[in-house]
Structure 1
Amino acid sequence: MDCACLHVWIHRCSISNVCACPHRPLNYFLLGIWTVLQAITIGSIVTFYDVEVVIQAFLLTSVVVVGLFFYTLQSKRDFQKHYAAIFTISIIFLAATVIQVILMSSMFNFLMSMFGAILFSVYLVFDIDMIMHHYSEEDYIIACISIYMDVMGLFLRILQILNEINRN
């Protein structure tokens, strides 16, 4: 299965999961398919990196996720009021990603990975706050997908950062 086809199926399952949230057992089935497709995607990406770098990225991601989780738990801030800023920064990140593809600069790639790691950390705090204060019990599929995407995005950015550091 080529990468573009797999990418399309992952997004179809994500959208289907959101639409099928209240319909059991369909939502479990779609979440299972989505999880398998994500595992194939992340597994194939990780094969391009050294084992030591992958382990370092896993450990660093784990520490960051646990730290951000406890920060969000004890914080009295309402992170939802920053939604517009997060959305704007995401659009800037998307535009910068297009520029990154054109420039093909290793320094710009490193900076984008740093920016992406920070952005996914913000997403994680935002989504944990959503789970704590705004999602209902029926929104567990959306919550699961949101947290998973944040953690995987953070992991991949940390993996890129560590790979770039180890190359130099």
Structure 2
Amino acid sequence: MYSNMYDEETNFAGEFSGFSDKEIRLGFIRKVYGILLSQIAVTIAIMSIFIYVPAAKEYSYANPWLMIVAMVLTFGLLIALACCPDVRRSFPTNFILLGLFTLLEAFMLGVVSSHYDTEAVLMAVGITAVVSLALTIFAFQTRWDFTMMGGMLFVFLIVLFCFGILCAIIQSKFASLAYASLGALLFSAYLVFDTQMMMGGKHKYSISPEEYIFAALNLYLDIINLFLFILSIVGQARD
């Protein structure tokens, strides 16, 4: 599971002259969603291999070390993209690293999805798509400013992490279901938060127009984490 990581690039919206020009802001948003849709398409394609190709599923079961290597590499790439502004602003290095991160993340999601029924995975994908679209529209239309909630969301993330450790210890189905439900709610809020951070304008905080890789990474992680929690809820409900 990954959390949203923010650094010194997050500042007051008024400090960015790029957001004073509506055309630049709209171009930034289009670029972010173009990258995001490409990431989602690649992720779904790789997940489909693990869901519908038995040989790929069996190979992942027989070689669990691949999952460990993918997790380590993904974490390293996440740190490089989230904590190193020069790296994520350097073309084409930023796109190469983001592409590798997406491939590794898609591989891990494929392995996780292979442990669930195909119908449950498809239901989770559909629910995630509907929820993500609805929350995105809400973030663009609402007058509420969620960009001021970064600190509170981070605190909730820490609490959720501790609750997840407790659930792993006590092995309770009801606790696991509560954990998945709270996780889905938290990353739903994060999706609205990151969308408004990208929008700028009237919101108190925003991301620089140069940080299109960072913005796409945040939104991608929100959707992926939301999908994992929804998949857990659907899987437990079907059981």
Alpha-carbon separation, structure 2, partners of 1:37 and 1:81: 32
1:46 matched to 2:113? The reply is: yes
Superposition deviation, residue 114 in structure 1:
0.4
Q: Choose 1 or 2 for highest CA Rg.
A: 2
Give the conservation status (yes or no) of the 8 Å contact 1:124–1:147. Answer: yes
Q: Deviation of residue 81 (structure 1)?
A: 1.7
Q: What does 1:128-167 align with in structure 2 at a 5 Å threshold? A: 128-133=195-200, 134-167=206-239
In the alignment, residue 179 of structure 2 is paired with which amino acid? M
Distance (whole Å) between structure 1 residues aligned to residue 196 and residue 164 of structure 2? 27
Q: Give the Cα–Cα distance (whole angstroms) in 2 for the partners of residues 100 and 45 of structure 1.
A: 18
More helix by share: 1
The answer for the alignment partner of 1:59 in structure 2 is: 126
- Name the counterpart of 1:3: 67
**Match for residue 84 of structure 1?**
151
Determine the C-alpha separation between the residues in 1 that align with 2:141 and 2:123: 27
Mapped contact 1:124–1:150 kept (Cα < 8 A): yes
The TM-score with structure 1 as length reference comes to 0.96
Paired position in structure 2 for 1:123: 190
Give the residue type in structure 1 aligned to 2:192. V
TM-score for the superposition, normalised by structure 2:
0.68
Deviations 1:75-130 (A, max 9, x none): 11111222221111111101101101111111100110000000110111111011
Q: 2: distance between equivalents of 1:83 and 1:14?
A: 19
Q: Give the letter for the 1:12 counterpart.
A: G
Deviations 1:21-46 (A, max 9, x none): 11111111111111110110111110
Q: Which runs of 4+ in 1 moved over 2 A?
A: 1-5
Structure 1 residues not aligned, in runs of 5+: none
Cα distance in 1 for partners of 2:148, 2:198 equals 15
CA RMSD of aligned residues (A): 1.0
Identical positions, percent: 32
Does the 8 Å CA contact 1:21/1:138 hold for their aligned counterparts?
A: no
User: 1:34-67 deviations in whole A, cap 9, x for unaligned?
Assistant: 1110110111110001011111111111110000
